[in-house]
A and B are shown apart, each in its own frame.
Chain A
Amino acid sequence: ILNVEQSPQSLHVQEGDSTNFTCSFPSSNFYALHWYRWETAKSPEALFVMTLNGDEKKKGRISATLNTKEGYSYLYIKGSQPEDSATYLCAFNNFNKFYFGSGTKLNVKP
């Protein structure tokens, strides 16, 4: 079992704040790192798939970076909105076996 850790566990921010979360994973035998967004009562939705060291991906106000040598990825949200409230999960893809972190629960207050 591979250990994937996410921090913080939960985060409460005001609308308009920018925020970031961390995902730590094993730095050896890296294959891919996935970020998901999971709103209550909905299906987890894929945000990014990252495969190369130094990768930076962006989707609207959300972006992510990857450091495979030290085993971490950051997810950034710029100017948080109430609709960003969700649990953000990362998953370490070890050759098609996925190991998930426990998630960061984000609550954005209007």
Chain B
Amino acid sequence: EAGVAQSPRYKIIEKRQSVAFWCNPISGHATLYWYQQILGQGPKLLIQFQNNGVVDDSQLPKDRFSAERLKGVDSTLKIQPAKLEDSAVYLCASSLDPESSYNEQFFGPGTRLTVL
């Protein structure tokens, strides 16, 4: 079974530039998560999709971050404009059965963003 794919793996941009990340979840997984992991901290949920609907985006800085999941499959996360504090690893994860307590998330390798 193919895993969660993410691209790019690394990105370096200057502040005030825009950047987009792409995620393709495991086939058939209805739930997709985007996390931000700042160095020294645990992953923080930015947005959670169930199919193509948003379940939780309470911690997404909506003035600069946006995300979409067209057709309930792959997803893009955009930052526009980027700030220095956005430097982090952006992880995408997917899960099959959100109703089960054994709901296991499968993660992609992440995109490491550096904002200069």
Contacts and interface: CB of A to CB of B under 8 A. Distances in A.
Interface of A: 4, 6, 31-32, 34, 36, 41-46, 49, 51, 89, 91, 93, 96-103
Contacts of A51: 101-102
A46 B101 contact: no
Nearest to A4: B42
B42 A43 contact: no
A100 B42 contact: yes
A36 B41 CA distance: 15
A44 B91 contact: yes
Residue from A4, A31, A34, A44 with most neighbouring chain B CB atoms (10 Å): A44
Given A89-B42, A96-B98, A43 B105 contact: no
The range of chain B's interface size is 20 to 34
Interface in B72-116: 91, 98-99, 101-110
Interface string B21-59: 000000000010101000011111100100000001000
A43 B45 contact: no
B104 A97 contact: no
Contacts of A93: 101, 103
A28 B40 CA distance: 27
Contacts of B31: 96
Contacts of B67: none
Given A43-B3, A93-B101, A96-B98, A103 B107 contact: no
B8 to A, nearest CB: 13
A104 B13 CA distance: 30
B105 A46 contact: yes
B3 A98 contact: no
A103 B91 CA distance: 15
